[in-house]
């Protein structure tokens, strides 16, 4: 553009020179003719230069601004005040820049929105290009598999099922698969939905972590199986003894007495199991309201210890209590639930401690906020590998021994649920051969005078 204007400068000089020659037809003095010619030549040159500048400068300006816009400097504008076509062009460039600016801002905000939505999702999401390389991920996927952009799906998550699903989706077929994988140390189960992007541009995959769901499902199934098994065992025994009695053993007074004794024994066990199951369902049911009120710890401990005095005496086990003498401590608790927790823990201690041992309850304030109740025994202790599971329903460290001492396998599960319902927590420490200590931590209550 500039080049063609420069070419026109020459044309302008020639035009002006012709004007000078025409003038010379009327003027005869050769000096004037030559002078006029020279003057006309200079004037022409000057005019041409001025004209050219007035044209090239705004065009060069437009070129500079559009170049800056292209380079991404979206703030620059021409702000021309010319009235002519060049001014109109400059204003139209400005308007275009405004429109681009606005559209860019909208796109950025839309992208930020999309990003926020993606990152807020619980599910892990990734999008691949048409070659199967991951291009877009969200925060959940990064937590699951780290930074995997640029990798293929199977490189990120080593699952043959995912590999096949992504391959299928690249070919246009959506599918849902369950994948089991290990990311780090934990096994994870993911439900994946993999679908092709429109136009076969790639694949979008949404992965939902169902590990906990599956686990809960397994726990529930195990519970039903365990409970049925536990209920059936005494029932079978009762029925067996009753049938033997009906078949004639009833007429043998010695046998009859022994069998009736066994029937009684098993029905007591059945009763205890059903009671515990009901207790547990009460602890787990959200419909059951726990009335939390200040409860005197010393009173609760003394009551629980009194109830177990006899069974402790039978095994020559010394029951002890520490920390009851000082300032009275109150906890926020449901009196009945707290009694259950204490009785279960002390009873467990008595059951699993050999004759002549000790079970001690210690009470202490843990700051102004909490009270800690410790139940320590001098029994055989629990191996480290069992400790994390002993609060599970029907989990038994030694099932034979547990049944022998009359455990239902539900005691500690009840303790855990009751404690949690009262806003507290329970933990356990144990050393093999040294004994086990359960620690119940409850919220401390200030003795309220109005409740009294």
Partner 1 sequence: MTIHTSQQYEAELRALKDRLLAMGGRCERLLRQAISALQTQNVELAAAVAKTDHEINTDEMAIDDLAVRILALRQPVGRDLRFLMTALKVVTDLERIGDEAVNIAERAGELANEVKLPSTSSRLGEMADAAATMLHEALDAFVEEDPIKAEHVLAADDAVDALYGETMRATFTFISANPEKVKPAMAVASCAKYTERVADHATNIAEMVVYMVRGVDVRHPYSKTKA
Q: For partner 1, give the closer residue by CB, 185 or 452.
A: 185
Rounded Cα distance between 21 and 31, Å, is 13
Cβ closest to partner 1, residue 80 vs residue 159: 159
Q: Which of 61, 164, 284, 293 binds partner 1 (CB under 8 A)?
A: 164
**379 is a contact residue toward partner 1 (CB under 8 A):** no
Q: Which stretch binds partner 1 (CB under 8 A): 148-156, 296-304, 323-331, 366-374?
A: 148-156
Count of residues in contact with partner 1, rule CB under 8 A: 15
Least distance from C-beta 196 to partner 1, angstroms?
17
Of 132 and 202, CB closest to partner 1: 132
Regarding 151 and contact with partner 1 (CB under 8 A), the answer is: yes
CB–CB of 152/173 below 8 Å? no
Window 78-117: contact mask with partner 1 (x via CB under 8 A)? ----------------------------------------
Nearest approach, Cβ of 150 to partner 1 (angstroms)?
11
CA distance 313 to 237: 30
Residue 129 vs 209, nearer CB to partner 1 = 129
Among left, alpha and beta (phi > 0; psi -120 to 50; other), residue 209 is: beta
Does 181 sit near partner 1 (CB under 8 A)?
Answer: yes
- Compare residues 156 and 410 and give the one whose CB is closer to partner 1: 156
Q: Decide: is 160 part of the binding site for partner 1 (CB under 8 A).
A: yes
Residue 214 CB contacts under 8 Å (≥ 6 apart), including other chains: 189
Shortest Å distance, C-beta 339 to partner 1: 39
Q: Least CB distance from residue 396 to partner 1, whole Å?
A: 16
The least CB distance from residue 390 to partner 1, in Å, is 20
Of 178-186, 188-196, 244-252, 344-352, the window that binds partner 1 (rule: CB under 8 A) is 178-186
Restricting to residues 117-136, which ones interact with partner 1 according to CB under 8 A? 131-132
Q: How far apart are CA 396 and CA 404, in angstroms?
A: 12
Q: Which of 77, 71, 75 is nearest to 92 (CA)?
A: 77
**144/371 with CB nearer partner 1:** 144
Q: Does the footprint of partner 1 cover residue 163 (CB under 8 A)?
A: yes
Whichever of 131 and 247 has its CB closer to partner 1, that residue is 131
Q: Which stretch binds partner 1 (CB under 8 A): 155-163, 243-251, 265-273, 428-436?
A: 155-163
Distance of closest approach, residue 110 Cβ to partner 1, in angstroms: 32
Task: State which of residues 159, 348, 353, 430 lies at the interface with partner 1 (CB under 8 A).
Answer: 159
Asked if 447 and 330 count as a contact pair (C-beta separation under 8 A), the reply is yes
Strand partners, 438: 375, 428
- 182 touching partner 1, by CB under 8 A: yes
Length of the chain: 452
Decide: is 154 part of the binding site for partner 1 (CB under 8 A). yes
Which tokens is 212 given? 């906990």
Of the candidate residues 101, 119, 155, 222, the single one contacting partner 1 (CB under 8 A): 155
CB of 215 to partner 1, least distance (A): 15
Distance, C-alpha 314 to centroid of its chain = 51
186 interacts with partner 1 by CB under 8 A: no
If one asks whether residue 353 binds partner 1 (CB under 8 A), the answer comes out as: no
In the complex, the residues that contact partner 1 under the rule CB under 8 A are 131-132, 151-152, 154-155, 158-160, 163-164, 180-182, 185
């Amino acid at each position: 553009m500039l080049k063609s204007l420069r070419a026109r400068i020459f044309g302008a000089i020639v035009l002006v020179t012709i004007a000078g020659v025409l003038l010379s037809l009327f003027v005869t003095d050769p000096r004037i003719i030559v002078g006029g010619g020279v003057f006309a030549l200079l004037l022409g040159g000057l005019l041409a230069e001025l004209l050219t500048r007035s044209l090239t400068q705004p065009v060069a300006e437009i070129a500079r601004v559009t170049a800056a816009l292209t380079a991404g400097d979206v703030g620059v504008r021409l702000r021309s005040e010319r009235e002519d076509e060049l001014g109109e062009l400059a204003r139209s460039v400005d308007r275009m820049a405004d429109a681009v600016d606005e559209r860019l801002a909208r796109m950025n905000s839309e992208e930020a929105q999309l990003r926020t939505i993606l990152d807020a999702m619980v599910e892990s999401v990734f999008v691949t290009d048409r070659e199967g390389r991951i291009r877009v991920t969200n925060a959940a996927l990064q937590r699951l598999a780290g930074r995997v952009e640029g990798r293929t799906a199977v490189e990120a998550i080593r699952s043959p099922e995912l590999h096949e699903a992504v391959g299928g989706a690249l070919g246009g077929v959506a599918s849902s698969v369950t994948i089991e994988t290990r990311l780090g140390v934990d096994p994870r189960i993911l439900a994946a939905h993999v679908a092709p992007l429109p136009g076969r541009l790639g694949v979008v995959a949404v992965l939902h972590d169902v590990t906990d769901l599956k686990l809960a499902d397994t726990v529930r199934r195990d519970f039903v199986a365990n409970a049925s098994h536990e209920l059936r065992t005494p029932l079978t025994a009762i029925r067996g003894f009753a049938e033997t009695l009906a078949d004639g053993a009833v007429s043998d007074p010695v046998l009859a007495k022994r069998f009736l004794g066994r029937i009684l024994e098993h029905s007591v066990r059945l009763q205890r199991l059903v009671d515990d199951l009901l207790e547990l369902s009460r602890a787990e049911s959200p419909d059951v309201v726990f009335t939390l009120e200040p409860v005197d710890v010393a009173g609760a401990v003394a009551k629980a210890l009194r109830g177990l005095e006899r069974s402790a005496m039978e095994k020559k086990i010394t029951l002890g209590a520490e920390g009851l003498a000082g300032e009275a401590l109150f906890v926020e608790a449901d009196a009945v639930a707290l009694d259950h927790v204490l009785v279960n823990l002390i009873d467990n201690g008595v059951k699993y401690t050999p004759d002549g041992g000790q079970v001690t309850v210690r009470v202490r304030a843990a700051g102004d906020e909490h009270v800690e109740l410790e139940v320590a025994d001098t029994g055989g202790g629990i191996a480290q590998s069992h400790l994390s599971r002993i609060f599970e329903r029907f989990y038994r460290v030694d099932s034979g021994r547990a049944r022998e001492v009359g455990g239902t396998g539900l005691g500690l599960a009840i303790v855990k649920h009751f404690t949690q319902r009262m806003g507290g927590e329970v933990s356990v420490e144990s050393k093999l051969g040294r004994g086990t200590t359960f620690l119940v931590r409850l919220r401390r209550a200030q003795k309220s005078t109005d409740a009294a």
